[in-house]
Every structure is written in C-alpha cells, then in structure tokens.
Chains A and B, each alone.
Chain A
C-alpha cells in the first residue's frame, strides 16, 4: 500500500516535471538546441526499443526506421484527414500560439495518434516478424532491411501521403499539427525506459534473455522461442511507431528519406555502442550520437559522419564487443550506494 502510494507520487512528480519542462524549456533554450533535445528524446525511444529486440532477445533487426516510418505516416494521415471530423478544435494550419496550449488542447489528438501509430507499427511488426523469427540466424536482418525498402516503395506510390514529395498536409486544408512537445517526447521515452527496465527483471524478460543466451537450451526448458522473439519484436515495433508519431508532429513534413537505411543503421550503432542489453547504455549512446552530427555540422565535417560511425562500430566490435556498458546498468542506487544492489 505504502509502496503503491510512493509509486503514484513518483509518477505524478514526473508528469509535473515534464509539463513544467514543456512550457519552460522552449523559452529558455535557443531553438536549435531545443530541437536537438527533442531529437535526442526520439532517438532514446528508438534505441531503447531496438535494444529490446537486439539486446534482450538477441535478434538482429536493422530496419527499425521502417517502423518509425509506419508510425509517422499513419499518424500524420490521421491528424490531417481526421482533422474536420475528430479534432476540429485544433488550428487548421497546425501552429499553436504557445507550447502549453498545444499540450492541453492537443492532448486527445496526440494520444489517439500515438496509439494508432504504435499499434499499426506493432501489427506490421507481427506480420514481418512471424515468418522470419521462426528461423534461426540472420534472416531477420535481411527481412528487416528489405522491409524498409518495401515501406519506401509503398509510400512513394501512395499519393494520399504525398508520395516522394513528402507529406505536410492537404493543400488549402489541414496541415500536420505541431503536437509534439517536450512532455510527449520525454513521457514516451520514460515509458520506454521503464518498460524495458522492468521487462529485464520480470519473468517474461528472463525468457527473453534465455533465448538470447542459448536458443536450443531455452527451447529445451519449455520456452516457446518463436513466441518470445515475436513478442520482443512487436514491443520494439510499437515504441518505434510511437517515436515516428512524435517525429512526424515535430518536423511537420514527413519525408521518406528521414527513415532510410542510414537512420536504421544509426539506431543499431547506438544500441551496439551502448551495449547490447543495457538500457542505460542505449540511452547515453542515443544522446551522444544524436548530438555528434550537429557538432560535426557546426565544424563543417558533416561528410565524415558515416565514416566515423562505421569506424566506431567496427573498432568497437574488434576491441570491446560487449559495448561501453556491456550488460550493466547505471542506477541512482548503485551510484550513491543506496539500498541493496541488484545484480543482473
């Protein structure tokens, strides 16, 4: 009872902090820095959710941006085409006068968009994952790579979402509203982190880890390995879809080139550098690798980005294959020596 009360307090405190941050940060920070902060949040959602697939269940998905694209396009279509019927209270040109206003009046639209984008992406994750996860080995890598390609072709041939030109709304009609703000980005990021962290120490999560460690042994212990892998994959796809929704309503022009293989590869780099299976690692790597290109751009060294990422990845694999954090986590308790240490 007391513990539940404490939890409620923590949740309420987090919500208040997020809401305060949402209204204060855009005023305090310069727009460029604020944009990077938002992109970091979205990258955290992507890398933590990819870590559930690649780190916890030991599979290898390299098309995570494809699921982000599913979320982004479906949610943008919802908020644009559903504007008149569902959300007539939103401004038609999609711009809000203040971040607080977008948070309060946009909340129903954002919640609906997040749910739609996440579930559609999870559904597609199920369809893509089921045939490839039945097999052992590297097939998932190829299928997810191909999946990104299929999404690109589908989007480019769908005029309702702008085709190759990108999608920002109906000309003369509703535009993609600027619903994304600090509250939603970091709220979903926190949710992803909490889900991933709790998953790790739960029974379900243990079955995930056992599949990673030894699939044959896990099967012998009575674990339905295909079901476990598909569950991990669908959960990862769900969060990726939500990240896509947030991205679409932050950028307000959805371009298919924002979800290409380069981006997917960036998320893989984050997870691998941070440490496959370490939530802390993927959060930190997401922040560093999202900020790094901006710094490189400021130095005029943007063209070296791909080379630097790739080199980092290869060197990391050769010298420290478990990533910076390995499978360890950094927690406040450990840092300050509070309470009992939880060993993984």
Chain B
C-alpha cells in the first residue's frame, strides 16, 4: 500500500471518529503489511504489538465486526448482577489514536490464502503480506439436540461471548423465583476459559444465597472432575454455599427440551431447571474452519509454536482460543494476549528479514471469583522447547492460590484493568 493512502485512511478515520464516535468506519485500505482478523484479546494485542515492536514502521489493519470490546473475563460478575456491561466494555479508539492501527468495523467473510486477500462482508478486499487470524471460538450448537432452536428463541442461553446475552442471562436469574434451580452444563475440555463455568456457578450461588436463598445451583459437567482449580472451587462450594451448589461429574448434555426446561444425558436421568445455561462443545471461529485452517480434527488450528504460524498456510498466524493448544496451555484471555506478542515479534522480525527469537516465553494468570468479594488464581510460565517444537511449562513454576481471599479479588480487578490497557490502550 502507498504510504499516502495509509495516511489519508488514518486521517479520515480519525477525523470521522472524532465527529461521529467509535462506530464510524475508516476508509478500507486496499492492502496492508499486516491484517488482523478479530479484535478480542488475541487480535487486538497482535495489532498493537506489531505497531510497538516495529516502532510504527509496519502498517496494521484490524478487522472486527463489533463496535467495542466486551471482556469475557469479569463478565460472570455481570451475570451475577455485581457489575454492569459498561464496566467490562472498552473502546478501540486508543488502538487508532495512540498506536496508528486502522480499525475497520466489518466482518471478514473469506480468506484467499493463495492470493493473500481477505474479503469483507461489505464487499471490500484487503491484500496482506502477513495475516493474523484471531477468530475466537464457535459454539457447536449442533452437538446438543434442540439447543440451536432454544438459543434462537432466547430460552436457553450460553453467554459465553460477552455482550447482550450476558445481560439476558442476568435478567433470567433476576426473574427466577426463590427456590428455583440454575443449572450450567459444561462441555468436555478443551473449551474457552477452563475455570469459567465453575466461576459462574460460584458467583451465581453468591447472588442466590443473598437474594433467593432457597434456590439451587447445579453443575452438569461432561468431564470426570472440575477442569480447573478443583480443590479451591470445591472448598468454596462446601464452605460458602453448603446445600446450595451441587456438582455432578460425567454429565454430558446430549439434548435439551426448552418446553420442559430439561437436559438429557447419554446415561444419567434428565435434569430440570428454571434457568438453563447449556454450553455446547466449541471449536475454532467459523472463518478459520471455513478457510480450512482448523486442521486438528476440524476443530482447532495447528500452529508452529515458534511464531504461531499456521501449519497449513504461509504467512498466516493464528492466535488465541482457536489454536490446538500445547500441553497445559489454557484457552484464556491472558494466554491469547501472550500468543499475540510472540506472533507480533515473529512477524516484525520476518518482515525485516531478521531471525525470529528462538526462545519465546508465555505467561498465564487466570483469576476466578468464588463470591462477590473473594477470588483465586492459577498461574503458569511456558517456554518454547525447540527439540519438541512446542511450549512446555517451566519445571517448578506455576501453581494455584493457597486459599481464596479478598486480596486476590483486588488483584483480579487490577489484572482486568491492566490487561485491557495492554490489549487496547
């Protein structure tokens, strides 16, 4: 792309944005050295860090259909009524104004891997030198019979992508009678945010204990045990919500019936609830699957972990929840942010003809609230092991909280503020 075109694109985008707010579309450039699809934790971080690591020398176009960023982390507190959606919503303006990223509000509908072009829903095409694909996850509604219709009707929700559905689930809980049952169905791992379902069950229990104490929380888990921080969650349920939270392992949802508000399983008896929150299995975001890049079981994208390059397509890097993760690597916001920095450094190096860092590192810290005032964490450090071409946790590092605490609830809030700024600010 000609520098003049970029400058004009940025100017018009900036000027229009100043007049009309963040939803105003920038002119869509015909090409960019780096195009990023998806502005969640992975994509937004990749866009910002390509700009940072290249000291502004590499132009970046970020394509995202949503007008603003809504965080999945902390969204369980919106479900539980102790935060508002506004509290977890952030603008993309800083990426434009402070970092010179061209943010295009549109949906990428197709990728021409040979021609190195991305097609957008409104018809524009952008040619790239390097593509970063960060499409997040697709919920596989077809895997649970009846779920697609129940979700379309608004009766059985997921709220696993933060936004209006998060508030809708909160409203369902607010209108539930005292003595009602809230049930959350957890799919088999891997899925987005391993501790997320258990955090949600905990903070919903905290809400019910306070406002509707005769109610119950049921956790219907397809897995044999709690997938993340099992001891900490079980201790919190036993001590904070005795008789209120019930955990049922090896309960894999096969079907739902929205009329009777029940879940059917392969083996166990049906379970009825007043508010049903059924999470189906997940896979890489639709665009990655349609582009043929989800080459692991047609579910996840395999990458060369040194640079997060797709193992199938040249000059395409995949970051975040849509990759086939390395051992002990969670599908988390923090991890997506970490992937993106490794990919950004590799992309900037490759565009400059330099060597890619041979020893990249990743960190992860996931906080989970177990009530409206206490939290726990799991943390890990991952290093690239060249001999095995994967990331492994550094021996002796990582771990979980000694105990739930208010101190860690403060750190959880601080983590959110800082990762939002690191990703977008």
User: Do A and B share a complex?
Assistant: no
